[in-house]
Structure 1
Amino acid sequence: MSNTLPHIYCTAFLGVGVVASGSFQHVVTTVQKSLSDRELTQLLIFDDSTGKPIDVVFRGKTDDEEEQFGGASGTEVNHQSTRRVGRPKLGVVSGEVTLLPRQWEWLKSQPGGASVTLRKLIDEARRAGKKQSTIRESQEATYNFMTAMAGDFHQYEEALRALYAGDLDRFYDFIDDWAPDIRNYIKKLAINAFSEENGT
């Protein structure tokens, strides 16, 4: 049943060329219709969010497409959980904070007082942490795909070093002469791998 299909987006490669891209269901249907059985055995499908290959077992022209998902990509299909938290209407929770006297003095001297300042500091730290997490996830997805598809490409190791060093220009230079579909997909995976100051 189609509602049990993985809700992921992926890209299928035959050799160094893209043959289909989009939702999992679209990619599976497209490659089944357009490729021979021999070509299907050589096909590699990658999860667009993780850069990891997805194991798909093609069993002919079956309508039961959910059987074709091998589940080896490590992607969790169900991310939602129902959870109710008992909080006051304003969402404010009181708690205890232990600080040194000089820290309390600084907090109290800030506009809005200690509570407002603490909330601002926490929100800023959360935003910074989320940004770093996004960069790491993009780097990891790019690494996963490059390892699988470009490990023997010219300047592969140099490109990886530039990726983790956050050097966008050098990274693009190193992958510039790679197969176009490989290079373009790497750029797609690496879209959030570099900090804003090094971005395009």
Structure 2
Amino acid sequence: MSPDELPTTFTAFAGFQRVAAGTKAQVLTQLRERGDAATCLVFDDQTGEQLDVDLRDPKAIEISALEAEKHEDAPRGVGRPRLGVVAREVTLLPRHWDWLARQPGGASVALRKLVDDARRVHGERDTVRAAREATYRFMTAIAGNLPGFEEATRALFAGEHQRFTDLVEPWPTDLRVHLHKLSAGGWGAA
């Protein structure tokens, strides 16, 4: 299963302690049961981005959890839903459209082939970049004031795995474990 096909998971932190993990609905349900949900930060494990949920209002958490459950299982309506095809807009220059029109199977088939070829050729590079960016987003949001943050960031983007590991070693355990999880794909084949 490719990274694009993996279900999106989320992790919640209260300070530097991991307090919930799972799908969006599962995390929000776990947070609803906590008395300190307002102090928690929720992160998308794939992108490292912080989820924008108002955790101060227990009713808002409950509504968000219900909406998350609906969206996780909701079928897509545009395109060929059974095949997972989604119609979106693409902006190209006229010469690009002309070239696509001359391709066997038309523009959609040609674009799909180009994307598949690019994914095959650049797949590892894209995985490394995405993992480093997700790790950086998470680190910036939660660990930006910790000692060694800037050096750890430099090591991350330089691909210096051992140096990164050494720099985050003194950090709180849950934070360090999550950083290693997010950055795992960022070290390439080395």
Q: Partner amino acid for 2:25? A: Q
User: C-alpha separation between the residues in 1 aligned to 2:75 and 2:173?
Assistant: 34
Which residue number in structure 2 is paired with residue 49 of structure 1?
46
What SS does the aligned partner of 2:58 have?
coil
Q: Give percent identity, aligned residues only.
A: 35
TM-score calculated relative to the size of structure 2: 0.67
Larger radius of gyration: 1
Q: Distance in 2 between matches of 1:138 and 1:193?
A: 5
Q: Deviations over 1:48-107 (max 9, x none)?
A: 11111101124325795337879xxxxxx98966357xxxxxxx959xxxxxxxxxxxxx
Write out aligned runs for 1:68-79 (5 A).
none
- Three-state SS of the structure 2 residue aligned to 1:54 is coil
Instruction: Report the count of equivalent residues.
Output: 150
Partner of 1:18: 18
1:127 aligns with 2:124: no
SS, match of residue 186 in structure 2? coil
> What is the letter of the counterpart of residue 15 of structure 2?
G
Which residue of structure 2 aligns with residue 141 of structure 1? 134
Aligned to 1:73: none
One-letter identity of the residue aligned with 1:174? L
Q: Pick closer, same or farther for the CA change 1:163–1:45 going to 2, 3 Å.
A: same
The alignment partner of 1:192 has SS state of helix
> Relative to structure 2, which stretch is displaced further, 141-150 or 58-67?
58-67
Q: Could you say if the C-alpha distance between residues 185 and 63 of structure 1 is closer, same or farther in structure 2, counting changes exceeding 3 Å? A: closer
The residue that corresponds to 2:183 in the other structure is 190
Provide Cα deviations, 1:135-160, integer angstroms capped at 9, x if missing partner.
11100000000001111111111111
Which is further off, 161-170 or 52-61? Answer: 52-61
Is contact 1:20–1:31 with CA below 8 Å preserved after alignment? yes
Q: Does structure 2 conserve the Cα–Cα contact (< 8 Å) formed by 1:55 and 1:69?
A: no
Structure having the larger proportion of residues in helix? 2
Q: How far is 1:131 from its partner?
A: 1.0
| 5+ long unaligned stretches in structure 2 | 1-6, 86-102, 106-115
How far, CA to CA, are the matches of 1:30 and 1:129 in structure 2?
38
RMSD over aligned Cα atoms: 3.3
